Amino acid sequence: MTQAAVSIADLNLKTKCEKGFEFEYIDEHENQTGIFLTVIGSASEKIRKASYAAHDRDARKAAMDKKRGRDTEVKPLEEWAEENMALTAMRVIAWRGISEPCTPENVVALLQSNDILLKQVIEKSDNVANFTKSKSNSSSSSQDTNSN
């Protein structure tokens, strides 16, 4: 028996990673918290474009410095960390169980204050399986395949 052909669009992980994946925040004692965050995948077009834009800014600055005969300044660690936090915060698109609204500023504040949650956002967003259906268990397409 031959398998039906699939289209290129069916294999587009960037598109699949644009769909939100909701997970429950598990605290430092492995307790469920009733706090749920929805993230998009790190392979999504939105995250890739933002990441490339940040890299392009740095590359353009280095090229201009070189053209002007100047050494490129090393980016301070704080600036690098802020850019990475902003890129990570972009992955969070909604939440439940938190009284404040899910705004970019509030997401950054939350992730800066909670390293455990920050790690979970990265792990869940990086796991492409969270955004795709498993052939062996297609009924649980939203089930987290990356356990904590």
Distances (CA, A) of 3 to 6, 54, 133, 141: 9, 42, 17, 21
C-beta of residue 98 within 8 angstroms of C-beta of residue 114: no
pLDDT value of residue 140: 44
* pLDDT single digits (tens) 36-62: 999 999 999 999 898 878 777 777 777
Span 26-31, mean pLDDT? Answer: 96
* pLDDT single digits (tens) 83-137: 889 999 999 999 999 999 999 999 999 999 999 999 999 999 999 999 988 766 5
pLDDT averaged over the chain? 86
Helices 77-89 and 104-113 sit at what angle, rounded to 10 degrees? 120
pLDDT value of residue 67: 81
pLDDT value of residue 146: 46
